[in-house]
Amino acid sequence: MAAAVATFGIRSVPSNIWLHKFGARTAAASIRSRSFTTLASLSPVEDTEDIQLNVIPKENARESVSSTSNNNNYKSNKSYYPKRGQTLELVCESLAFKGKGVCKVADSGFVLMCDRALPGERFIGRVTRKKDNYAEVKKLKTITPHSDYVEAPCEYASHCGGCKTQSLSYEAQLKAKEQQVCDLVVHVGKFSDQEPEFAGVMKPIVPCDIQFHYRNKESEELDILLTANASFGLAVMMEFSFGPKGWVPAEQLQEKSTDECVYALGLHAPGFFDKVLNVNKCLLQSDSANEKSGNESCATWRRTVIVEDYGVQEGRRKHHNVLEKENENMHEFHGYISFKVVLATVQECWRDPELGLSPWNVHSHTGFLKHLMLRSGRNIETGLPELMVNFVTSSDNPECLRPLVEKIATIPEVVSIVNNVNTSIGNTSVGEKEYTLYGKSTITEILRGLTFQISANSFFQTNTRQADVLYKLIEDCAFLKGDGSEIVLDLFCGTGTIGLTLAKRVKHVYGFEVVAQAVSDARQNATLNFINNATFIEGDLNKIDSTFASNLPKPDIVITDPNRPGMHIKLIKFLLRLRASRIIYVSCNPATCARDLNYLCYGVPEQNIEGRYRLSSLQPVDMFPHTPHIECVCSLELR
Ligand SMILES: C[S@@+](CC[C@H](N)C(=O)[O-])C[C@H]1O[C@@H](n2cnc3c(N)ncnc32)[C@H](O)[C@@H]1O
């Protein structure tokens, strides 16, 4: 297999007026019964909004339009089409992929998608973009707010791109996510919700219990802040961007001082790749710390925050002991405090003209600092948090970072400072070169009783606490015999997490992963955990050929955990030929997941490939409250 990451396209699942039973039908029968009136034709694989929307066949369009129910047949009445720029009164009915509100014009049934519209909300919106059978709209004014309203505690909630549903009660968020998965399974996956088995297959969403542990004000702020960016979860990963000009939301322009419009370090404004919302001290400091610290140095401020937050008067060690007793989420909480301190330290000095550091300008392709990535792990001996700070720069000049590195290195939790050099004009954070500027090149984390080493560019679940729940679910779905006889194939294995949690009860684990650093971490993780029956292989699963895995013993269980685009059709065909008894499909994108489940269960009729699997359970898991993200664990049995 080649090692390069490829882009690829899979056509979207053809529309079909027949919804399938749960694998009960043979593929041949399903081929006969299909009527391929394809609305979607070829959707780019990343445009999963289209996968989700273009799912109802033309001949059914009218029926679905006339229905005003919540059935989420996201299909518009073709006889009505609003004009671009037109303002309309709309009602949001439900949430769709990426957390966009599915809205309808009263009496027409025409579907419009609106960012930040929440179920039950009646509002005025302006049509911004027309798609084939729906349109996009920008919210101008709320007439009546959505149901299940709660006050969003974060001052950036309505501006930053991350947690769109902060003002929706957590119960309502869960309901919306569960509904979304269900709709996708029916409309994209083509499973019939009329079958008696459906209710048994679709499991209720597993909530994130951290929601309920963090009840006090500080803690809510923690939850919210740490989910404020799509790329991180609760306390273990955060990505900030540098920009030449801070973005200020229109409604705040009057209040903000002009210097806030200069050089920014913060979160991307929603929908803008070139605008950065500066994350300033207001968000970083708790109110009490703000009052107390005044102009004090960062170190003093840090102590103040900790003492104020927990009422602990003396000694760090004692502080931790007390915390462990008082708050079982101490690890995340303390990691969070360290994030705040690192960010405040960088904010304090990176604009100093003497350092000569400039932010990356995405338009002119000039400037040096692209991103600041913070990742937190845990010291495996003390259990205390340890932090990795990763500066992503546009050129190879690590010496320029020296003054910043010296300051950050004084923060006790920081054990690793690295520099990823990414010379491409794009905004990605993975570097062609990596320098370790201070301490180690990796951090460690503990998950399901195992130790994992993580490099800057390796994937690792960003909400460790909920990852533990997720991996336990995967283990349960594996139904291991426990006699050490089974072979496990761990596709998209990252640092080996899933395979290694199963390794001690199986004969051998074979993991495949494209990122070289992750493969090397996975091998090291096997050693760290005294596991010698796991083999990790570097390669691109989008570029497999007929010889793929032919030299390995036939697996009994396949775990597949692709990133958002889902599985390449080549890999799906490989799995259909392989016929392992069980596949566990772990997905972070329910739209591509539904599409791939359809392939695995009903085949690829256009290519005369039969489906082989029966979907026996689908378990949504909420890894990231307040964000649109949904994780799913699906069990498929060989028919
Ligand atoms: C969602 S992560 C899952 C990682 C791992 N299973 C875990 O739970 O930590 C997806 C992984 O697939 C890897 N990946 C993405 N595209 C790939 C490809 N074409 N071939 C192989 N691995 C790929 C990513 O680098 C990432 O580590």
Return the exposure string of 357-375: e unless at least 16 CB atoms fall within 10 Å of the residue's CB, then b.
Answer: bbbbebeeeebbbbbbbbb
Tally of CB atoms within 10 A around 594? 30
Q: Going by CA atoms, what residue is nearest to atom 2 of ligand 1? A: 563
Test site for ligand 1: of 468, 471, 492, most ligand atoms within 8 A of the Cβ: 492
Tally of CB atoms within 10 A around 410? 10
Tell me, yes or no, whether 88 and 120 share the same domain: yes
What domain count does the chain have?
3
Tell me, yes or no, whether 288 and 422 share the same domain: yes
Which residues are catalytic, by number? 588
Tokens of 557: 């269980």
Tell me, yes or no, whether 302 and 341 share the same domain: yes
Give the distance (Å) from ligand 1 centre to CA of residue 514: 7
Cβ-count burial of 418 within 10 angstroms (0-12 exposed, 13-18 middle, 19+ buried)?
A: buried
Atom of ligand 1 nearest to the CA of 471: 8
> Distance between CA atoms of 531 and 319, rounded to whole angstroms?
35
Q: Going by CA atoms, what residue is nearest to atom 27 of ligand 1? A: 494
Residue-level pLDDT at 244: 87
Tokens of 528: 């760290």
ipTM over 0.90: yes
CB 456 within 8 A of CB 373: yes
For 23: left if phi > 0, alpha if psi spans -120 to 50, otherwise beta; the answer is left
- By residue count, the chain amounts to 639
Give the distance (Å) from ligand 1 centre to CA of residue 498: 11
Tokens of 154: 């974060």
CB 632 within 8 A of CB 50: no
Is 617 part of any domain? yes
Atom of ligand 1 nearest to the CA of 461: 9
Kindly report which listed range (226-235, 244-253, 576-585) carries the lowest average pLDDT score: 226-235
Residue of higher predicted confidence among 163 and 209:
209
Whether the predicted pLDDT of 330 surpasses 50? no
Helices (H) and strands (E) in the chain, counts: 18, 21
Helix, strand, coil abundance in the chain, percent, nearest 5: 30, 25, 45
Pairing of strands 582-587, 557-560: parallel
Test site for ligand 1: of 475, 513, 629, most ligand atoms within 8 A of the Cβ: 513
Residue-level pLDDT at 400: 95
Residues enclosing ligand 1, CB less than 6 A? 5, 459-461, 492-495, 497-498, 512-515, 518, 540-542, 561-563, 588
Tell me, yes or no, whether 536 and 521 share the same domain: yes
Q: Going by CA atoms, what residue is nearest to atom 4 of ligand 1? A: 494
Atom of ligand 1 nearest to the CA of 568: 19
Kindly report which listed range (64-78, 346-360, 583-597) carries the lowest average pLDDT score: 64-78
Give how far Cα 386 sits from Cα of 32, 374, 453, 525, Å.
58, 10, 12, 18
Tell me, yes or no, whether 491 and 622 share the same domain: yes
Q: Which of 127, 147, 167 is the last residue of a domain?
A: 147
Average pLDDT estimate for 181-193: 94
Tell me, yes or no, whether 561 and 605 share the same domain: yes
Is 292 part of any domain? yes
Q: Which of 447, 474, 492 is the last residue of a domain?
A: 447
Kindly report which listed range (97-111, 122-136, 285-299, 317-331) carries the lowest average pLDDT score: 285-299
Least Cα distance to 583 among 549, 544, 555 occurs for 555
- Residues that constitute the known binding site: 461, 492, 513, 561
Least Cα distance to 619 among 209, 204, 175 occurs for 204
Mean pLDDT of the chain: 76
Residue-level pLDDT at 149: 73
Q: Going by CA atoms, what residue is nearest to atom 1 of ligand 1? A: 563
> Distance between CA atoms of 269 and 591, rounded to whole angstroms?
25
Q: Which of 147, 162, 186 is the last residue of a domain?
A: 147
Tell me, yes or no, whether 572 and 454 share the same domain: yes
Domain hosting 503: range is: 450-545+555-638
Tell me, yes or no, whether 537 and 425 share the same domain: no
Give the distance (Å) from ligand 1 centre to CA of residue 360: 28
Farthest CA pair distance, the chain: 75
CB 223 within 8 A of CB 233: no
Give the distance (Å) from ligand 1 centre to CA of residue 236: 18
Tell me, yes or no, whether 265 and 365 share the same domain: yes
Percent of the chain with pLDDT over 70: 68
> Distance between CA atoms of 33 and 372, rounded to whole angstroms?
53
- Residues that constitute the known binding site for S-adenosyl-L-methionine: 461, 492, 513, 561
Tell me the pLDDT tens digit for each residue of 384-424. Answer: 888 999 999 999 999 999 999 999 999 989 999 999 999 99
Q: Going by CA atoms, what residue is nearest to atom 17 of ligand 1? A: 514
Which domain CATH number covers 124? 2.40.50.140
Give the distance (Å) from ligand 1 centre to CA of residue 562: 5
Tell me, yes or no, whether 83 and 135 share the same domain: yes
pLDDT category at 130 given cuts 50, 70, 90 is confident
> Distance between CA atoms of 570 and 441, rounded to whole angstroms?
35
Is 267 part of any domain? yes
Is 181 part of any domain? no
The HSE-up count of residue 17 (CA atoms within 13 Å, CB side) is 12
User: If residue 436 lies in a helix (H) or strand (E), which one and from where to where?
Assistant: strand 433-439
Tell me, yes or no, whether 541 and 432 share the same domain: no
Residue-level pLDDT at 61: 28
> Distance between CA atoms of 491 and 513, rounded to whole angstroms?
7
Q: Which residues make Cβ contacts (< 8 Å) with residue 561, sequence separation at least 6? A: 490, 491, 492, 493, 494, 498, 585, 586, 587
Residue-level pLDDT at 343: 86
Is 294 part of any domain? yes
Tell me, yes or no, whether 247 and 396 share the same domain: yes
Which domain CATH number covers 519? 3.40.50.150
Give the distance (Å) from ligand 1 centre to CA of residue 78: 40
Test site for ligand 1: of 237, 497, 514, 585, most ligand atoms within 8 A of the Cβ: 514
The HSE-up count of residue 349 (CA atoms within 13 Å, CB side) is 16
Is 220 part of any domain? no
Residue of higher predicted confidence among 286 and 542:
542
Average pLDDT estimate for 418-439: 92
pLDDT category at 280 given cuts 50, 70, 90 is low
Whether the predicted pLDDT of 6 surpasses 70? no
| End-to-end CA, the chain | 30
Tell me the pLDDT tens digit for each residue of 503-556. Answer: 999 999 999 999 999 999 999 999 999 999 999 999 999 999 999 999 999 999
